[in-house]
């Protein structure tokens, strides 16, 4: 039984129907799409298709001699597509050549903008394309999920190192920074700042007012320090400033005085004024000291200097007693 062109188009969208004299009678719709819809009917099949393996075929008898064998072919049009092929007799002395992309179907679909409608409904290529699309969608979903997870991890890590009330670093962040700087042999100054008269604000104005004062003080410290410096809230009204590379006593004294002066300015809370001050203890890390100090020892020296400032009247700064009078940095 001879099949109509419509039937062949449905069963083999990439077929070539060739008459006994070698002329192209019909081209399947998908194959025609690859040929950019250039009509090839009436032309000799060798002007359309090159059969070069298992051996060259330039006539219909030569082509039929390869019936049932796997062919390697190449379109001669602009597409220059390399295709797999199978030839069968058509019963009228001619031949039907069915072509396919083989394992290159995925690349061919992208290159030639093909869809599932360009393949026979029974073609396994459709299932393969669905699998490829499903895999691509799954990989994209996985990448999106990974990006979200990484973002969430970064946010969580950032929160774990941040004081929720002031937005400053917290004690954990300070501990990590101190360990890293000491381990790396870095020179730096550590300022331990404690607010004076803060308890009175909480007792008389309430904790909401106290929270507002803490946020204002945090903002002042950020404004007067460098972006590379670390400012951390380590207790209720206690703060630590780590100033990397800075060990000049004059500059540090000036910074401490400016911090105290700004913090002493009245802070408005709901139309009322709150006033606090600050005492500051200053210690230096000595990377050339023997033995090297630990973070705890450095904090203890800054703490001792802080309470020395408080004993001498508050609202002032003091250097650790173990620091030399002059620094070379």
Give the helix/strand (H/E) hosting 88. Answer: strand 82-89
Helix axes of 207-224 and 249-263: crossing angle, nearest 10 degrees: 150
Q: Is 237 labeled as catalytic in the residue annotation?
A: yes
Phi, psi of 3 (to 5 degrees): -90, 145
Vertex 209: Cα angle to 203 and 212 (nearest 5):
140
Handedness of CA 260, 262, 264, 267 (dihedral sign): negative
User: What architecture (CATH level 2) is domain 171-319?
Assistant: 2-Layer Sandwich (3.30)
In tens digits, the chain (329 residues) has pLDDT values of 678 889 999 999 999 999 999 999 999 999 988 887 776 789 999 999 999 999 999 999 999 999 999 999 999 876 678 899 999 999 899 999 999 988 788 788 778 788 888 888 878 776 766 666 777 778 888 888 888 878 877 766 677 889 999 999 999 999 999 999 999 889 999 999 999 999 999 999 999 999 999 999 999 999 999 999 999 999 999 999 999 988 899 999 999 999 999 999 999 988 889 999 999 999 999 887 767 789 999 999 999 999 999 999 999 999 998 665 544 44
Classify 61 as helix, strand or coil.
helix
Spell out a b/e string for 200-226, using b for 16 or more CB atoms within 10 Å of the CB, else e.
ebbeebeeebbebbbebbbebbeebbe
Domain boundary assignment for the chain? 5-122, 129-160, 171-319
pLDDT value for 328: 42
Residue from 118, 123, 163, 237 carrying the catalytic annotation: 237
Q: Give domain 5-122's CATH number out of 1.10.20.60, 3.40.50.1370, 2.10.109.10, 3.30.450.260.
A: 3.30.450.260
The whole-angstrom separation of Cα 88 and Cα 95 is 6
What is the pLDDT, as a whole number, of residue 1? 64
pLDDT at position 323: 60
pLDDT of residue 305: 96
DSSP 299: H
Instruction: Specify whether the CB–CB gap between 248 and 329 falls below 8 A.
Output: yes
Calpha distance 53→117 (Å, rounded): 29
Looking at residue 195, the DSSP 8-state letter turns out to be E
Helix (H, G, I), strand (E, B) or coil at 72: strand
- Reading the block at residue 66, the tokens are 């390869």
Lookup: tokens for 140: 């994209």
pLDDT value at residue 79: 64
Task: Provide the strand spans (E) within 127-221.
Answer: 188-196
**pTM of structure:** 0.56
């Amino acid at each position: 039984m001879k099949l109509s062109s419509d039937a062949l188009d449905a069963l083999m969208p990439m077929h070539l129907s060739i008459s006994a004299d070698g002329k192209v009678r019909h081209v399947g719709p998908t194959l025609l799409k690859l040929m950019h819809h250039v009509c090839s009917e009436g032309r000799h099949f060798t002007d359309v298709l090159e059969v070069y393996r298992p051996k060259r075929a330039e006539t219909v008898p030569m082509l039929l001699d390869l019936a049932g064998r796997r062919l390697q072919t190449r379109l001669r049009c602009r597409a220059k597509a390399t295709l797999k092929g199978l030839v069968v007799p058509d019963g009228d002395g001619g031949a039907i050549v069915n072509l396919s992309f083989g394992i290159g179907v995925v690349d061919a679909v992208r290159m030639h903008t093909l869809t599932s409608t360009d393949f026979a409904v029974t073609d396994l290529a459709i299932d393969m394309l669905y699998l490829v699309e499903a895999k691509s969608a799954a990989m994209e979903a996985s990448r999106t999920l990974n990006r979200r997870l990484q973002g969430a991890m970064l946010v969580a890590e950032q929160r774990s190192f941040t004081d929720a009330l002031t937005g400053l670093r917290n004690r954990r962040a300070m501990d990590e920074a101190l360990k890293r700087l000491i381990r790396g042999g870095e020179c730096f100054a550590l300022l331990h700042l404690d607010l004076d008269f803060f308890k009175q604000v909480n007792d008389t104005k309430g904790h909401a007012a106290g929270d507002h004062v803490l946020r204002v003080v945090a903002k002042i410290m950020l404004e007067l320090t460098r972006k590379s410096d670390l400012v951390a809230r380590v207790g209720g009204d206690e703060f630590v400033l780590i100033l990397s590379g800075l060990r000049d006593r004059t500059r540090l004294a000036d910074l401490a005085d400016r911090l105290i002066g700004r913090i002493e300015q009245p802070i408005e809370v709901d139309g009322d004024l709150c006033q606090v001050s600050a005492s500051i203890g200053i210690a230096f890390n000595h990377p050339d000291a023997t033995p090297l100090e630990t973070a705890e020892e450095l904090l203890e020296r800054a703490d001792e200097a802080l309470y020395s400032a408080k004993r001498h009247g508050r609202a002032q700064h003091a250097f650790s007693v173990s620091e030399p009078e002059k620094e070379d940095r």
